[in-house]
Structure 1
Amino acid sequence: MGKVLLDTRPLKYPAYRRLWLSNIVTAVGAQFAAVAVPKQLYDITGSSAYVGIAGLFGLVPLLVFGLWGGAIADTVDRRRLLLVTNTGLAVTSVLLWLVAASDIRSVWLVLVLFAGQQTFFAINMPARGAAIARLIPVHLLPSAQALGATVFQLGSIAGPLLAGVLLPVAGLQTLYLVDAVALCAALWAVFRLPPLPPQEGAPKKAGLRAVLDGFRYLALHSVLLASFLLDIIAMVFGMPRALFPEMAERTFGDPPGGGAALGWLFAAIPLGAFLCGVLSGWLHRFSRHGVGVTIGVVAWGFAVIGFGLADSLWLAVVFLAIGGGADLVSMVYRGSIMQAAATDEMRGRIQGVFTVVVAGGPRLADTVHGLSGAAVGTSTAIAVGGVLVIVGAVISAALLPAFWRYRAPVSDEG
């Protein structure tokens, strides 16, 4: 079973273990905030339009400060940057708690605080991702990526469910308070990390030139470029979550006010990814990471096609869960490639681009699927999207053969 279950060897390294344990706490807390902000806005206004505006207030800081945050992560001590940004995240959560607890019904105050929180998050994520390769040997990077992805998926499942239980019992403000406490725990874990100063060759300033250097570096390294390209193809053409509400009601029989089908559709992908993560002990033994990413994306495309053509809820959930597992495989190998193929002085900026892709891809997919679903119907739009994922992945592998041939580097311990 040790060859099948999640590989926990990276947890033998105390610094990585602290960082990972802090991710467990914050993964659930972050989902609390993700539920609380739209709920608070809807309670204040009674309008879904303001909930949509919140998405814009969250996306813009992620796009802007994700790139800049990656440049900052390459110029300063990453531990110190994590301390500053984790403190900022905790402070904004406390302020959101105070607003909710005081019953201050100001839409714009909530939106500004939410944008501030996403700004700290956008700067935090590149530094957190870039730190991993400094804490463990290179041959354990796939296992570390699997551990991190599994925790993230667990938070995506447990966080909304716990939030739904707590809301009617303890109120909206409790969700913010739990998030703030979780972030304080994460702050203590980051405080105990070793110093992570910039290494030789790192830029001196985190200006526009440093950001552009990151893009130039990415353009010259086809392996890294292909990993981002495949992620964008998979998300933009193959993430149909914008059509979940319509399919839940019209295809799977939910009542107009919402029902169990909608919850299952949203939970299916992270559930499949979590189960695959638990059984991911074999992933680190496969060194053809480029092949792993490509096969994962193609499998995701086939699962999306199956979901689009499914005429029963249980079959739709099964296909989405399969897609979630395929996405986790792709995610693990993509993350390992970014950690191993990029040099340390560029790793923060590459992680910054990754943050932007992860944030922007699904939001662009919402627009693409929403418009295409309205034009040709949900089943057709989803199935065609799955076909485009497969075609796009095959063409990318053909045009960028270095990615298909890429093998993970082997350390002395590997």
Structure 2
Amino acid sequence: MERGEPAPPARATGARGLLPDLSPWRSSRDFRLLWTQGLITYIGAAMALIALPLQIKDLTGSPLAVGAMGAVELVPLIVFGLYGGALADAVDRRKVIIATEAGLGVLAAVLLVNALLPEPLLWPLYLVAAGVAALTGLQRPALDSLMARIVPHDQLPAAAALNALRWQAGEIAGPSLAGVVVAFAGSAPAYGITVVTFAVSVLMCRGLGAAPPSEGAPKPSLRGLAEGARYAWSRPVLLGTYAIDLAAMFFAFPHAIFPFLADELDAEWSLGLMYAAGAVGSLLIGLTSGWLSRTRRHGLLVVAGASVWGLAIAAAGWFDSVWPVLACLAVAGAGDMISGLGRSTIWNQTIPEGLRGRLAGIEVLSYSVGPQLGQVRAGAMASWTGTRAAFWSGGLACVASVALLAAVLPKLIAYDAETDPDARRRRAEKESSAESPEAAPEASPREFPEGSPAAGT
């Protein structure tokens, strides 16, 4: 440490050092709003996540028909995810978030109306699935790229952990409640709850501060998208995060066939628990995420977490009892959480503000397209070889692909937040914008109140 440089804040040790770091919650009003709004939305969306595939299963009895949801969602997600990334760099991100949340609420209302028909139709379910994918593709780049602006640079790992903790809490509460609601009252009440949560979310998002584009930001165009793609291609660390997540989700995302596994285990009552089990494992990691703020080798987290995910999914295919299966799914969720924290931290620590939206669009594809293709793979494999084989074969393929990618992209393993040139450059940008707020719209005084930790950066 050089003469005159302030000493770094003391780090909590022991049991206190494992508790989540709440610095982003204290320093940013917009972070608090997004965190709370996101929790409400996740609970509502999880209700529909359970009800929709179960309704398709009841109408068709086919695992392939359930897995086809992934195919229907794929093209809209790719097209609108890329466009959404360019849009997030060119317009006020707050407006994008509000408009897409409202659109998602309308689609939930369509599901509710269809479920109330004397004989619900199948085609609206696929149509809504495609619409949700399109709106999600538009929204996620704006939502994800906003985080690096409203949270101080040194608090980004803590923000990633708190966001993941919020998501896991919603994933536990939503599926668990949905399993009971659908089992005893049908899909319509589940869709009704989803509609209400999106309405509340829109009202909360209206309280966010404006998030205008950076000065000189390009309008959405193919040239702008190509610029973002070239940047990502030139960064092996980013490529590694995208590729590993795609491989892990493609080979080992069996959510579409959970209803059939529950039937085979003679435990139909466990369906909601199967969807929630992964979130339980992730939640345990989130509740002890204090260590993340002291971690520098986030690339190792990506590789290790994805490997644990694949091994646990493979193990779930070998058991004949529902409780060991639930335990395996919880371990898989813990691995996915670790990998996701590593990915999110690397993205927010290294990508320049002017490219955040477009790179966030690529990020949406990396962690959303994989699950969609994974649903198709799982459904097709279950139809051809059986449900259990779809689990263990996909899990083993996941582990093999992650090992191969780690060997091909060694810079991901070597990533160090203190020495990586992109991370150091991004840190300098944040410090510069904090010292001269008029130089760039990184954060407004309203987001970092006087006297908060962020005000002193």
- Residue 221 (structure 1) aligned with residue 235 (structure 2): yes
**97 and 303 in structure 1: CA distance in 2 versus 1, 3 angstrom threshold:** closer
- Residue 272 (structure 1) aligned with residue 287 (structure 2): no
TM-score where L is the length of structure 1: 0.86
Q: 1:383 Cα deviation (Å)?
A: 4.3
On the 8 A contact 1:239/1:365 being kept in 2, the answer is yes
Q: 1:137 Cα deviation (Å)?
A: 0.8
Of residues 92-101 and 11-20 in structure 1, the stretch that sits farther from structure 2 once superposed is 92-101
Q: 1:117 Cα deviation (Å)?
A: 3.6
The residue number in structure 1 matching 2:441 is none
**42 and 290 in structure 1: CA distance in 2 versus 1, 3 angstrom threshold:** closer
| Counterpart among 154, 160, 170 of residue 155 in structure 1 | 170
Of residues 168-177 and 336-345 in structure 1, the stretch that sits farther from structure 2 once superposed is 168-177
Matches of 1:187 and 1:291 in 2, distance apart?
A: 37
Q: 1:71 Cα deviation (Å)?
A: 1.2
- Residue 83 (structure 1) aligned with residue 92 (structure 2): no
Matches of 2:164 and 2:193 in 1, distance apart?
A: 22
| Counterpart among 131, 135, 153 of residue 116 in structure 1 | 131
Of residues 98-107 and 159-168 in structure 1, the stretch that sits farther from structure 2 once superposed is 98-107
SS at match of 1:69: helix
Corresponding letter in the other structure for 2:276: A
TM-score where L is the length of structure 2: 0.79
Q: 1:328 Cα deviation (Å)?
A: 0.1
C-alpha RMSD of the superposition:
3.1
1:61-140 to structure 2, matched below 5 A, reads: 61-101=76-116, 105-109=120-124, 111-140=126-155
| Counterpart among 238, 242, 245 of residue 252 in structure 2 | 238
The residue number in structure 1 matching 2:413 is 404
The residue number in structure 1 matching 2:366 is 357
The residue number in structure 2 matching 1:197 is 212
- 1:37-56 Cα deviation digits (max 9, x unpaired): 4455667x566576555544
Matches of 1:67 and 1:156 in 2, distance apart?
A: 26
- Residue 317 (structure 1) aligned with residue 326 (structure 2): yes
- 1:116-160 Cα deviation digits (max 9, x unpaired): 343222211111111001111112212211222222222222212
- 1:79-122 Cα deviation digits (max 9, x unpaired): 12112212222233344444545768554455444433432222
SS at match of 1:7: coil
- Residue 296 (structure 1) aligned with residue 305 (structure 2): yes
Corresponding letter in the other structure for 1:65: F
The runs of 5 or more residues in structure 1 that have no matched partner are none
On the 8 A contact 1:97/1:173 being kept in 2, the answer is yes
On the 8 A contact 1:156/1:270 being kept in 2, the answer is yes
Q: 1:238 Cα deviation (Å)?
A: 2.9
Matches of 2:181 and 2:271 in 1, distance apart?
A: 20
Matches of 2:105 and 2:42 in 1, distance apart?
A: 14
On the 8 A contact 1:203/1:345 being kept in 2, the answer is no
Matches of 2:376 and 2:396 in 1, distance apart?
A: 18
- Residue 7 (structure 1) aligned with residue 21 (structure 2): yes
Corresponding letter in the other structure for 2:25: L
Of residues 69-78 and 18-27 in structure 1, the stretch that sits farther from structure 2 once superposed is 69-78
- 1:12-44 Cα deviation digits (max 9, x unpaired): 11111101100010001111222344455667x
Q: 1:269 Cα deviation (Å)?
A: 1.8
- Residue 185 (structure 1) aligned with residue 200 (structure 2): yes
On the 8 A contact 1:71/1:349 being kept in 2, the answer is yes
On the 8 A contact 1:71/1:348 being kept in 2, the answer is yes
Q: 1:392 Cα deviation (Å)?
A: 2.8
- 1:215-234 Cα deviation digits (max 9, x unpaired): 22211111111101111222
Matches of 2:231 and 2:141 in 1, distance apart?
A: 16
Matches of 2:298 and 2:93 in 1, distance apart?
A: 27
Matches of 2:129 and 2:387 in 1, distance apart?
A: 32
- Residue 144 (structure 1) aligned with residue 153 (structure 2): no
On the 8 A contact 2:259/2:268 being kept in 1, the answer is no
Matches of 1:28 and 1:395 in 2, distance apart?
A: 36
SS at match of 2:335: helix
Counting aligned pairs with the same residue, the percent is 36
On the 8 A contact 2:66/2:379 being kept in 1, the answer is no
Matches of 1:188 and 1:242 in 2, distance apart?
A: 32
The residue number in structure 2 matching 1:343 is 352
